[in-house]
Amino acid sequence: MITRILAIAAAEFRTVRRNRWVFTATLMMVLFALALTFAGSAPTGVLGVDLLTVSVASMTTLAVYLAPFLALMIAFDAIAGEVERGTLGLVLTYPLSRGEMLLGKFLAHLTALAIAITVGLGAAGLASALSGGASADSLFALTRLIATAILLGACFLALGYAASALSGSAAGAAGLAVGLWLVFVVLYDLGLLGAVVFDNGGSFTKSVFPWLLAANPADAFRLWNVAGSEQVALVSGMAGAGAGLPIWAAPLSLLLWPVLALLMARLAFARVEP
């Protein structure tokens, strides 16, 4: 089983390396992270924190948008694209289960994504630490940011596979992926915001809202990074949002999502006839 998963992963990783996906994604991460870090370097003096802390706070916001985007971009083609190009039928006649195939792709894509995220956020973190100072606390925050961004990417990779298996064509899968990104990253928060405004400080805002926030992987990612560091929370101004939640809620959500989404993708994949 492991041999087959690794065989798929190796071939898949070669493909994403050769079509420059790894390079392009890494470049995007580096450029955005550096730009945000140095554009957002103003409030250090006012808040009395080092530049790396500020940088981590702004990169958290960046990663919420960029990690799901990159993950969906790489994942949407995984199944629908193979059906369309006619490569899936032959592979599936080998003694390889669909679950193994999915895991192999997941492994390769997650590695590619992890490279882009680690290099991108790491480079910006290093640059700000060198120019504006760092502390044990802010270095830890940076490490946590990178690790959780990879988890967030893992979750959207799996969601992308589900979209890819559910749609009949690569173009349809791309559309569905954009839809997923909009819903999870933009619309969900807007909806919650509207509900909170409407509720006007009532019981919804106090008891339901934090849980709904943690249920969305993108928000769970934000909560985890913010709740983990008082200083990051201070800079990002998001301290209040997750206050009513137990400490494990956001991490649990972010760890559970990739697993559930992979199971979902596996179920959707089962119905695909090449």
Partner 1 sequence: MMDNPTHALIVENLGKRYGKMEVLKGIGITVAPGERVALLGHNGAGKSTLIKLILGLTHPSSGRISVAGHAPGSTAARTATAYLPEQVAFHKSLTGREQLTLFARLAGEHPKTVMPLLDRVGLGPAAQQRIGTWSKGMRQRLGLAQALLGHRHVALLDEPTSGLDPMSRHDLYAIIDEMAANGTAVLIASHALTELEARTDRIAIMRRGELVADDTLARLSARAALPTRIRLTAREGAADHVQAQLGGTRVNGCSVDLQCTTDQKMAQLSRISGLGEVVRDVEMAPPSLEDLYRHYCGEGM
Binding site for partner 1 (CB under 8 A): 3-4, 6-8, 10-11, 14-15, 18-19, 85-87, 89-97, 273-274
- Give min distance, CB of 171 to partner 1, in A: 18
DSSP string, 54-81: HHHHHHHHHHHHHHHHHHHHHHTTTTHH
- Give min distance, CB of 14 to partner 1, in A: 6
- Give min distance, CB of 86 to partner 1, in A: 4
Residue with smaller CB distance to partner 1, 77 or 219: 77
Residue with smaller CB distance to partner 1, 50 or 82: 82
Residue with smaller CB distance to partner 1, 11 or 187: 11
- Distance between CA 45 and CA 38 in Å, rounded? 14
- Distance between CA 77 and CA 243 in Å, rounded? 39
Angstrom CA distances, 135 to 3, 164, 169, stand at: 43, 43, 49
Residue 8 burial (C-beta neighbours within 10 Å; 0-12, 13-18, 19+): buried
Residue with smaller CB distance to partner 1, 96 or 252: 96
- Give min distance, CB of 185 to partner 1, in A: 30
User: Taking a C-beta distance cutoff of 8 angstroms, is the pair 124, 34 a contact?
Assistant: yes
Output the six-digit token pair for 135.
Answer: 């502390």
Output the six-digit token pair for 175.
Answer: 């559309």
Residue with smaller CB distance to partner 1, 8 or 157: 8
- Give min distance, CB of 82 to partner 1, in A: 9
